[in-house]
Structure 1
Amino acid sequence: MFINTNIKSVLELIQAFPTEQACIDYLEEVIWSGIVVSPFDETSKVYKCKNNQYRCKNTGKYFNIKTGTMFENSKVSLRKWFLAIWLVTSHKKGISSIQLGKDIGVRQATAWFMLQRIRACFGIENCNELEGVVEADETFIGGKNKNRHKDKKVPHSQGRSYKDKVPVMGMLQRDGKLNAFVIPNTRRNSIQPLIHRYVKTGTRLISDEWWAYKGLHRHYDHKVIDHSKKEYVSLQDNTVHNNNIEGSWNILKRSVSGMYNHVSKKHLQKYVDEFVYRYNLREVTDYKKFEHLLNNNNVRTRYKDLTG
C-alpha cells in the first residue's frame, strides 16, 4: 500500500486514510512488512482468514493486526485512533483529553483512556545510551511553595524538599537525546543507578553540587556546578553548565501545568515519557513521529490497570 510520507496536516492525514480498511492495510505494511507474524508464536505458519483475521498454526489461535497492540479490543475506529496519535505527537505541548474528545468525536473518558494507551508507548524514546557530554539534574513536579497553604509550606532551611511534589531525574546528552524518570526521592540510591544504567562509563558528566552525585568521579569525568554559590557556568570552562537540561525542565513544567493542570503521581511517568518522546523527536517531521509510534505500538494498557 502506497502512503504519502510527506503528510503535513490533519486534512492530508484524513485524505490518506479514507476508510477503515486503508488503516488496516497500512498497519499491516508498517508492522509486518508483507510477512505476517503470529503474536502467539513468531515461528508458526500463519493462515489468512476472512475479515482481516489470521490463524496461528502452532497455537490454533486467531489474531489480527490489532492483537497485542494499543488498539486491541478497542471499539474506537482506527481512523479515529490515527487522528488521535497524529494530534498527540504533533502538538508541541500535548493535548488534553477534553480537547481530544471534541476533536475526534468521542467522550472525554474514552479520549482519556486512548491518551493513556498512547502514552504507554512513548517509553520507546526513554531508554537511550548516552555519551559524549551529559548533563544530569533533577526537578520537582507539583505546586509552588509560595502557593501552598500556610501549614504545608516548606521552610528554606530544609534544603531540597519534595513535600507535596514528585521528583524527576533527567540525563541529557548535548546535541543528543534525553532520558527522564520519576524517582521516589533525590538520594544517591535513587539517582546513581539511573546514571550507571544509561550513561556510558568514561563520559563527561556535569551535575550541580547536590550530595547524591558524590562518588561518580570513579566512573565518569564528573564536573560540578555549584549553584549554592550562584555559579551557573564554570569560570574555568564555559562548557561546564547544566543550562540545556534546566531549559528542558521548564518546557516539561509548562506542559504539565498549562495543558494538564494536575497529574497524579501514579500517571506522571507516562506524561514524562510523552515529553521525552516529543523532545527527542523535535527535529523530525510530524509524519515521522506518527509513523515511529505506530511502529512501536505493541504496549497494551488495560483500563483496570489505570484505575485500580
Structure 2
Amino acid sequence: MAGKLAARVKGLSEAAFREAFGTEAQCRAALERLRWPKGFVCPACGHGGRAWLAERKLFQCNRCKHQVPLTAGTIFHATKLPLTTWFLAIHLIVTAKNGISSVELGRRLGVKQTTAWSMKHKIMQVMLEREAKKPLQGRVEIDDAYLGGARSGDKRGRGAAGKTPIVAAVETTAERWPRKLKLLPVKGFRKKEVEKLAREHLAPGSTVVSDGLSCWAAVEGAGCDHFPMVTGSGRQAARWAPFKWVNTTLGNIKAAITGTYRQLGPAHAARYLASFAWRFNRRFQLDSMLVRFVHSAARTKPMPYRVLVAG
C-alpha cells in the first residue's frame, strides 16, 4: 500500500520551482510569509506595524523603530548570497534522495565548493534539529550498524578502526509498513548509551523489537517494552520479517552514502544521517517539502562557520 502511494506522489519539478521561486521578490515574499504567518511581529516590542526600508532591505517597527532584516535570526542570517541561491540549494538538497555532494552542489549553484559546503551543512542542521523533536512511538524496529570500513590489514567487524557506530530505528504501522525513521550516531553500544538514546528519541510505552544484542534491554529503563529476537547472522537474518524495514533502510542508506560521499566521518555524521531521515519521513509530501523546510529554517538559530566545522 505504501509503495503504491509513493509512486503516485509527485514532487516539485524544476520548472515549477523556477516559476514559484525564480526571483528574489518571490523568495523574500515566501520567507516573510513563512516566518510571520500572522503578519510581522517586532522581536523587540511585539508590535505588528512595520515599514519596509527598501534601500537598507530591512523592516522597521512603527512603534519602537527597531530594525529587523528578514533573514536575521534564521539560518540565512548575515548571508551575502541572494535568497534565490539559497532556495535553489534547499530544493536540490531536499529532493536528492541519495544526497548531493558539496562539489556537485557548488557546480549547480555557481558558487565555490567551500561556500556550498557551508550552505549544505546549515540546511542539514535544520533537518537535524527538526527530526530531534519528534520521538518514535508504537512498534519500533531497532538495529545497530557501522558507517565506514576497515582499511587493508586492519581489524574487521565490531570495533574496526575508522568506523562510526550508529543506531537505526524504524517506526512501523500495525500492518508493518514503515512510518518514520531515525538514524543516530552513538559513542558505542553500551546500556547507558542506549537508555539515553531511548529517553531522547523513543516515546514511553513504545514496543521495541531488537536482535539479541544485550544492550537493547536498556530501553526498558526509558519506559519502553522490549521484545528481543535472536536473529543470528548472514543475509537470511537480515531478511527476517520482524527486521525487514530497519535492514532495508540501512542497506539503502549505506549504498547512497557510498555512491555520493564514499564515506562519512564521525564529526558530521549526525547531520548527514538526519538529512536522510528527514527526506525519508517526508517521502509522501514531495510537493510541499521545500515550503515545509523553509518554515523550519525561519525558526532555526544561525549557525556560524566555526560551529559548523566543529560538528
Q: Bin the TM-score by the shorter chain.
A: 0.7 to 0.9
Which residue of structure 2 lines up, in the alignment, with residue 142 of structure 1? 148
Q: Distance in 2 between the 1:166 and 1:278 partners? A: 22
Q: 1:8 Cα shift? A: 2.6
* 8 Å CA contact 1:171, 1:245 repeated in 2: yes
* 8 Å CA contact 2:75, 2:303 repeated in 1: yes
Q: 1:217 Cα shift? A: 5.2
SS at match of 1:168: strand
The alignment status of 1:246 with 2:247, answered yes or no, reads: yes
SS at match of 2:192: helix
* 8 Å CA contact 1:92, 1:278 repeated in 2: yes
The alignment status of 1:181 with 2:187, answered yes or no, reads: no
* 8 Å CA contact 1:128, 1:178 repeated in 2: no
Q: TM (normalized to structure 1)? A: 0.84
Q: Distance in 1 between the 2:64 and 2:152 partners? A: 60
**Which structure 2 residue ranges, 5 or more long, are not aligned?**
1-9, 173-177
Q: Distance in 2 between the 1:88 and 1:60 partners? A: 38
* 8 Å CA contact 1:88, 1:95 repeated in 2: yes
243-252 vs 6-15, greater mean Cα deviation: 6-15
Inter-CA distance 162–185: structure 2 relative to 1 (3 Å threshold): farther
Q: 1:27 Cα shift? A: 1.1
Which residue of structure 2 lines up, in the alignment, with residue 223 of structure 1? 227
SS at match of 2:226: strand
Amino acid at match of 1:139: A
CA deviations on 1:90-113 (whole Å, 9 max, x unpaired) are 111111111111112111111111
Q: Distance in 2 between the 1:59 and 1:114 partners? A: 33
SS at match of 1:266: coil
Q: 1:254 Cα shift? A: 1.6
CA deviations on 1:61-103 (whole Å, 9 max, x unpaired) are 4212211111111111111111111111111111111111111
Inter-CA distance 153–131: structure 2 relative to 1 (3 Å threshold): same
Q: 1:57 Cα shift? A: 7.1
Amino acid at match of 1:304: R
Which residue of structure 2 lines up, in the alignment, with residue 3 of structure 1? none
Which residue of structure 2 lines up, in the alignment, with residue 195 of structure 1? 198
Q: 1:12 Cα shift? A: 1.9
Inter-CA distance 243–7: structure 2 relative to 1 (3 Å threshold): closer
Q: Distance in 2 between the 1:201 and 1:7 partners? A: 35
* 8 Å CA contact 1:125, 1:280 repeated in 2: no
Which residue of structure 2 lines up, in the alignment, with residue 64 of structure 1? 69
191-200 vs 96-105, greater mean Cα deviation: 191-200
Amino acid at match of 1:288: S
RMSD: 2.5
Which residue of structure 2 lines up, in the alignment, with residue 256 of structure 1? 257
Amino acid at match of 1:255: A
254-263 vs 68-77, greater mean Cα deviation: 254-263
Q: 1:244 Cα shift? A: 0.8
Inter-CA distance 34–140: structure 2 relative to 1 (3 Å threshold): same
Amino acid at match of 2:263: H
Report % sequence identity: 24
* 8 Å CA contact 1:140, 1:162 repeated in 2: no
SS at match of 2:142: strand
Q: 1:10 Cα shift? A: 1.3
Q: 1:132 Cα shift? A: 2.0
The alignment status of 1:74 with 2:79, answered yes or no, reads: yes
Q: 1:18 Cα shift? A: 3.4
SS at match of 1:102: helix
SS at match of 2:70: coil
274-283 vs 54-63, greater mean Cα deviation: 54-63
Q: Distance in 1 between the 2:183 and 2:238 partners? A: 23
Amino acid at match of 1:305: V
CA deviations on 1:177-208 (whole Å, 9 max, x unpaired) are 12221111111111122123332333321001
Aligned residues: 289
Q: TM (normalized to structure 2)? A: 0.84
Q: Distance in 1 between the 2:271 and 2:15 partners? A: 28
Amino acid at match of 2:12: K
The alignment status of 1:117 with 2:122, answered yes or no, reads: yes
SS at match of 1:92: coil
SS at match of 1:243: helix
SS at match of 2:283: coil
Q: 1:60 Cα shift? A: 5.5
Which residue of structure 1 lines up, in the alignment, with residue 40 of structure 2? 36
Inter-CA distance 243–279: structure 2 relative to 1 (3 Å threshold): same
Inter-CA distance 233–249: structure 2 relative to 1 (3 Å threshold): closer
* 8 Å CA contact 2:192, 2:218 repeated in 1: no
